[in-house]
Amino acid sequence: MSTFTIGGDLTVGRLGYGVMQLTGPGVFGFPADPDNAIAVLRRAVERGVTLIDTADAYGPLVTDDLIRRALHPYPENLVIATKVGLTRPRPGEWVPVGRPEYLRQQTELSLRTLGLERIDLLQLHRVDPQVPIEDQVGTLADLRREGKVRHIGLSEVTVEQIRAAQAVTPIASIQNLYNLTNRTADDVLAYAEQEKIAFLPWFPLAGTGMADTALAASAARHGVSVNQLALAWLLHRSPVILPIPGTSSVAHLEENLAAGDIELTSEEFARL
């Protein structure tokens, strides 16, 4: 599997694993079968995954608890990326809160729940429009100076917001909605390439259920699923893209990770 170095010093395999689907319905509460969730996490690491993406809002704190139970003490090469800045009043509801005291509180809570002394990659889950972005990112920068955070990232942002954040502190990653059928963040991806910032597309497999002829034909030619082809396309699309497909199934996990072995020709890529 090809690699990318986040922030200049964290080298990870480019195909990671996002844990959001390991929660209960509405991304709320524990899953019906926590032992299965633990088995999926352990299998991901066994298969060589070195980047796991979580958030305090998943559950809330459910996936962090499962990660610790499954994997602590953590392998030296495992990077756990997490996010703060979204609250969960009820299942299916997400409300941004970027007040500095809240971001600090949730970071401290994530450290304890995950069993970490330092978070390798802490991402602002959403920019709170009620709080200056400089104050939100500045809080994360303070936590970095205190040794509690290694690198800082952003989620669902514009190029203008990235630049505003960079004026405060270095930004190591961006996590925006991006996939084969939704490329509205092309400008953000181009900026990430220019700045050598990791780009973690969330919902990387959205839209594959309505696969067009080119995608289905390429998948058939390779003898793989359309989901695998969509992940291969993302890996081919840019060297800074680090897909983090999620699943609660060991079988689907294996299928997703196999996408890293698919080689697309330039003609196939152009058609897609």
Q: Which residues are identified as catalytic?
A: 58
Residue type, 72: H
Tokens representing residue 66 in the block: 């499962």
User: At a CB cut-off of 8 Å and minimum separation 6, what does 263 contact?
Assistant: 232
Question: 3-class SS at 125?
Answer: coil
Among 44, 2, 77, 1, residue whose Cα is nearest residue 245:
44
Question: 3-class SS at 79?
Answer: strand
Residue type, 199: F
Question: 3-class SS at 1?
Answer: coil
Task: For strands 79-84 and 198-199, give the pairing.
Answer: unpaired
Interatomic CA distance for residues 178 and 186, integer angstroms = 8
CB atoms within 10 A of CB 106: 25
Q: Which residues of 150-188 are buried (b: 16+ CB within 10 A; e: fewer)?
A: bbbbbbbbebebbebbeebbebbbbbbbbbbeeeebeeb
Tokens representing residue 86 in the block: 């979204």
Interatomic CA distance for residues 176 and 15, integer angstroms = 16
